[in-house]
């Protein structure tokens, strides 16, 4: 016969039972050791640098949701290879750089760039991809530089209105020539070209160009039937220029798409999509109702693409040219979004570290739902300059813009 | 679980079912609040903390009283397991509150002690839960909505001063790749019940539930797991079906 336990015994029984259960279940959880912040790994060996890089990419890279690269496979494939690199020497460094490049060559982020600080070498997956498709991608055309130097200012822009200049500015820590051209074409089209989005750095030679352009915008004469903004070859730059440039031509907020960032260390931890907007410029704006045409090409990247898409979104906007570069995820320091660019190996190699990974902080989706990262923005009207046309004194892209504006 | 532990559990169970002459069946309702902690490790994220958040719980406890001191209890319930991510310092104001609703079924042993009317009790058992719904509410810096006035300032006061914040409050979209919607765990609680008469009794109890399954599927190498730890307090009432509607036996 089973005896009913006393109250005291029941209580002891309960405690014993609880302890058994608690002990059993507490061991069911996995280890909570976090993957270290990529920048905090010592980086004093190739295996450690590999671990830092793999982890940094795993948590900071913002395109895992759309990227086809199998990052887990990269871990299993390349970890043993890095484990074999026992010491730092030239031969191993060559192999390490080759491995890092192979791991990342399929990434969709077209801003992405690896800089190996020991050798000064770098690797860009997008350049690699585009050169594999077309070996002459970056060299098959002298445009738009030559067009702007010798064609547009001399043949297209009305001489009395021509304003142009070159300043030296600082982009990503490097001195860069900043060129700008403006004026009217056939006394009916207001034209603007500049080669980088760094308008805040416009100085004595280029500020008059922007002064002229925006003065015309704010007091648009009746004879101006269209505006052309030439972004061919423009590699991008400061985000604030979007409001500064396009925002002076609108009087109400314009939604052009959405961005999202990482919000956790997991590969697929994302914030919700936030609306990407262009606001009327705080210093004043007017509503431009004549056609606004963005000219862009295969070398137009980043802010040049965002600006092209902003103009394309306007009811009176049009994009003429060729498919753009496909690097349109905005960037910020990694601390802002817990994602994007990072440096590894600072513990062993000093502040510049061993490897700097330049990558987008946020993913951009155009208002139509398309993500053009790695693909480029398709033009509304295709037009591309040719050597033959250039030699005969014609810019076929500007001609297409003139014809479009004439027809509206 | 080892053979010894299994034997111990079996022995306790035999003790419990051996004395069922006073067996009664209870059905009731309970409601309460809780505080959930997401247990993870985010040390790789700068200026970021994971904080607990409050939630609610509503349940329908079903209790089968084997004898004076032991019952088996199941409490199907809707339970929120919320948490909040906060940025700190220069990034103050950036946050996300995750409100997660679970349908939960704990099966517990109920051990009671004390007098005729006022009795103390402890619960111990296991639960299974399904992550039914999610909502995210928060503010994030909107990189393509810069504060054009602050841009010219070399010293913006905060991240939300540099870029306007985007405030959202929307349904969470589950990911088939990432989200593990089935949760298993254990539950322990203590409470006091007061029997008004033989037909019904009120109770108040504190309860802990801890998951031992990751909130994420195993979708990446070196994954850092996330577990829910939930501390709740609830009040409720149990009705004796035997006394209200006659004996089932």
Interchain contact, B177 vs A268, CB within 8 Å:
yes
Q: Are A245 and A229 in contact (CB under 8 A)?
A: yes
pLDDT value at position A16? 66
**Stated length of chain B:** 249
Mean pLDDT for B26-54 is 95
Mean pLDDT, rounded, of chain B: 90
pLDDT value at position A387? 82
CA distances from A363 to A359, A401, B78, B103, B117 (A): 11, 30, 36, 34, 63
Please report whether residue B115 resides in a domain.
yes
**Left if phi > 0, otherwise alpha if psi is -120 to 50, otherwise beta: which for A350?**
left
Give A-chain residues touching B113 at CB under 8 angstroms. Answer: 7, 10-11
Q: Count structural domains, chain B.
A: 1
Please give the angle made by the CA atoms of A290, A283 and A225, to the nearest 5 degrees.
10
- Which chain B residue is nearest to residue A338, measuring alpha carbons? B45
The 3-state secondary structure of A175-193 reads EEEEEEEEEEECCCEEEEE
Mean pLDDT for B24-52 is 95
Interchain contact, A18 vs B188, CB within 8 Å:
yes
Element spanning A357, H or E: strand A355-358
Instruction: Count the neighbouring beta carbons within 10 Å of the beta carbon of residue A32.
Output: 13
Pick from A330, A271, A260: nearest CA to A110 = A330
Tens-place pLDDT, residues A129-164: 999 999 888 876 656 676 777 789 999 999 999 999
Residues 267-306 of A with CB under 8 A from B: 267-269, 271-272, 274-277, 279, 281-282, 306
Secondary structure tally for chain A: helices H, strands E? 13, 14
Give the separation between CA A180 and CA B157, rounded to whole angstroms.
33
The answer to whether residue B147 neighbours chain A at the CB level (below 8 Å) is no
Mean pLDDT, rounded, of chain A: 92
Three-class SS of residue A210?
helix
pLDDT value at position B151? 55
Cis ω before B136 (30° cut-off from 0):
no
Q: Are A275 and B166 in contact (CB under 8 A)?
A: yes
Mean pLDDT for B141-152 is 83
Three-class SS of residue A218?
helix
Q: At B115, which CATH number?
A: 2.40.160.20
Confidence of residue B10 (pLDDT cuts 50, 70, 90): low
Please report whether residue B76 resides in a domain.
yes
Partners of A259 in the β-ladder: A274, A364
Please report whether residue B11 resides in a domain.
no
| Closest partner CB to A34 (pick from B18, B41, B146) | B41
- Give, as one character, the DSSP assignment of residue B155: S
Please report whether residue B193 resides in a domain.
yes
Confidence of residue A1 (pLDDT cuts 50, 70, 90): very low
Mean pLDDT for A166-180 is 91
The answer to whether residue A367 neighbours chain B at the CB level (below 8 Å) is no
Which two three-digit tokens encode residue A134? 């077309």
Q: Are A238 and A197 in contact (CB under 8 A)?
A: yes
Residues in contact with B219: Cβ distance below 8 Å, sequence separation at least 6, in sequence order: A267, A268, B177, B178
**Stated length of chain A:** 408
- Is the pLDDT at A13 greater than 80, yes or no? no
- Is the pLDDT at B134 greater than 60, yes or no? yes
Residues in contact with A80: Cβ distance below 8 Å, sequence separation at least 6, in sequence order: none
Give the separation between CA A125 and CA A113, rounded to whole angstroms.
7
Interchain contact, A4 vs B67, CB within 8 Å:
yes
Give the separation between CA B131 and CA B180, rounded to whole angstroms.
8
The answer to whether residue B169 neighbours chain A at the CB level (below 8 Å) is no
pLDDT value at position A20? 67
pLDDT value at position B232? 98
Confidence of residue B173 (pLDDT cuts 50, 70, 90): very high
Residues 95-134 of B with CB under 8 A from A: 96, 109, 111, 113, 122, 124
Please report whether residue B196 resides in a domain.
yes
| Closest partner CB to B96 (pick from A25, A263, A335) | A263
pLDDT value at position B156? 81
Burial of A80 (0-12, 13-18, 19+ CB in 10 A): exposed
The CB-side HSE value for A84 (13 A sphere, CA atoms) comes to 9
- Which chain B residue is nearest to residue A266, measuring alpha carbons? B223
- Is the pLDDT at B145 greater than 90, yes or no? yes
| Of B197 and A183, more confident | A183
Give A-chain residues touching B224 at CB under 8 angstroms. Answer: 32-35, 265-266
| Closest partner CB to A2 (pick from B15, B170, B185) | B15
Q: For chain A, list the domains and their CATH numbers.
A: 38-133 (no CATH), 145-250+285-328+372-406 (3.90.226.10)
Mean pLDDT for A206-219 is 98
Predicted ipTM of the assembly: 0.89
pLDDT value at position B248? 47
Residue at token pair 């915008």: A217
Tens-place pLDDT, residues A231-241: 999 999 999 99
Please report whether residue B96 resides in a domain.
yes
pLDDT value at position B249? 42
Residues in contact with B54: Cβ distance below 8 Å, sequence separation at least 6, in sequence order: B33, B34, B35, B82
Please state which of the ranges A6-10, A32-36, A102-106 shows the lowest mean pLDDT.
A6-10
Residues in contact with A384: Cβ distance below 8 Å, sequence separation at least 6, in sequence order: A297, A321, A322, A396, A397
Output the CA torsion sign for B107, B113, B119, B122.
negative
Q: Domain limits at B177?
A: 22-140+169-245
Please report whether residue B7 resides in a domain.
no
Please report whether residue B37 resides in a domain.
yes
pLDDT value at position A2? 44
- Is the pLDDT at B32 greater than 80, yes or no? yes
CA distances from A161 to A154, A181, A273, A362 (A): 11, 10, 44, 40
Helices A90-104 and A71-83 cross at an angle (nearest 10°) of: 170
Give A-chain residues touching B212 at CB under 8 angstroms. Answer: 25, 28-29
Q: Are A158 and A185 in contact (CB under 8 A)?
A: yes
The answer to whether residue A259 neighbours chain B at the CB level (below 8 Å) is yes
Partners of B25 in the β-ladder: B64
Q: Are A252 and A229 in contact (CB under 8 A)?
A: no
| Closest partner CB to B41 (pick from A32, A72, A306) | A32
- Which chain B residue is nearest to residue A55, measuring alpha carbons? B222
Largest interatomic CA distance in chain B: 82
Give the separation between CA A196 and CA A304, rounded to whole angstroms.
8
What is the Cα B215 distance to its own chain's centre? 13
Mean pLDDT for A31-46 is 83
């Amino acid at each position: 016969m089973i005896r009913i336990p006393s109250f005291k015994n029941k209580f002891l029984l309960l405690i014993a039972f609880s302890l058994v259960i608690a002990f059993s279940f507490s061991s069911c959880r996995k280890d909570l050791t976090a993957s270290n912040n990529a920048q905090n790994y010592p980086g004093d060996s190739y295996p450690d640098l590999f671990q830092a890089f793999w982890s940094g990419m795993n948590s900071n890279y913002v395109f895992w949701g759309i990227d086809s690269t199998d990052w887990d496979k990269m871990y299993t494939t390349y970890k043993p290879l890095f484990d074999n690199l026992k010491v730092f020497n030239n031969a191993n460094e060559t192999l390490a750089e080759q491995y890092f490049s192979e791991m990342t060559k399929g990434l969709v982020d077209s801003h992405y760039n690896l800089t190996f600080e020991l050798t000064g070498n770098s690797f860009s997956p997008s350049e690699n991809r585009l050169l594999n498709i077309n070996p002459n991608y970056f060299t098959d055309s002298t445009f738009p530089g030559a067009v702007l130097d010798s064609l547009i200012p001399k043949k297209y822009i009305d001489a009395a209105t021509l304003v142009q200049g070159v300043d030296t500015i600082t982009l990503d820590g490097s001195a860069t020539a900043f060129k700008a051209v403006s004026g009217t074409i056939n006394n009916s089209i207001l034209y603007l070209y500049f080669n980088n989005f760094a308008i805040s750095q416009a100085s004595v030679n280029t500020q008059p160009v922007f002064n002229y352009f925006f003065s015309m915008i704010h007091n648009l004469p009746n004879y101006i039937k269209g505006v052309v903004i030439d972004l061919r070859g423009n590699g991008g730059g400061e985000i604030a220029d979007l409001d500064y440039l396009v925002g002076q031509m609108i009087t109400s907020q314009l939604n052009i798409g959405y961005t999202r960032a990482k919000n956790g260390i997991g590969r697929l931890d994302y914030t919700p999509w936030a609306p990407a907007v262009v606001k009327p410029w705080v210093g004043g704006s007017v509503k431009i109702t004549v056609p606004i045409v963005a000219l862009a090409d295969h070398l137009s990247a980043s802010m040049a693409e965002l600006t092209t898409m902003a103009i394309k979104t306007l009811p009176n906007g049009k994009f003429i040219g060729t498919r753009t570069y496909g690097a349109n995820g905005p960037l910020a320091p990694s601390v802002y979004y817990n994602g994007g660019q990072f440096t590894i190996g600072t513990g062993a190699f000093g502040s510049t570290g061993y490897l700097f990974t330049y990558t987008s902080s946020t993913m951009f989706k155009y208002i139509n739902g398309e993500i053009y990262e790695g693909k480029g923005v398709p033009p509304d009207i295709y037009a591309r300059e040719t050597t033959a046309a250039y030699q005969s004194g014609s810019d076929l892209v500007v001609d297409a813009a003139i014809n479009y504006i004439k027809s509206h | 679980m080892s053979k010894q532990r299994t034997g111990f559990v079996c022995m306790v169970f035999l003790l419990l079912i051996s004395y069922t002459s006073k067996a009664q069946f209870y059905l009731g309702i309970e409601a309460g609040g809780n505080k959930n902690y997401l247990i993870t490790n985010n040390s790789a994220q700068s200026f970021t903390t994971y904080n607990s958040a409050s939630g609610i719980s509503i349940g329908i406890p079903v209790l089968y009283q084997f004898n004076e001191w032991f019952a088996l209890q199941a409490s199907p319930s809707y339970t929120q397991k919320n948490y909040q991510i906060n940025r700190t310092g220069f990034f103050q104001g950036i946050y996300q509150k995750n409100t997660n609703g679970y349908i939960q079924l704990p099966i517990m042993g109920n051990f009671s002690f004390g007098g005729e009317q006022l009795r103390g009790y402890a619960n111990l058992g296991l639960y299974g839960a399904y992550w039914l719904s999610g909502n995210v509410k928060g503010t994030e810096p909107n990189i393509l909505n810069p504060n054009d006035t602050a841009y010219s300032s070399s010293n913006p006061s905060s991240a939300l001063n540099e870029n306007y914040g985007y405030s959202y409050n929307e349904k969470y979209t589950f990911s088939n790749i990432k989200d593990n919607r089935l949760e298993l765990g254990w539950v322990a609680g203590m409470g006091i019940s007061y029997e008004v008469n033989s037909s019904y009794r009120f109770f108040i109890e504190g309860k802990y539930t801890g998951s031992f399954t990751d909130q994420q599927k195993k979708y990446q190498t070196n994954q850092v797991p996330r577990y829910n730890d939930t501390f709740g307090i609830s009040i409720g009432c149990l009705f004796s079906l035997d006394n209200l509607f006659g004996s089932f036996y």
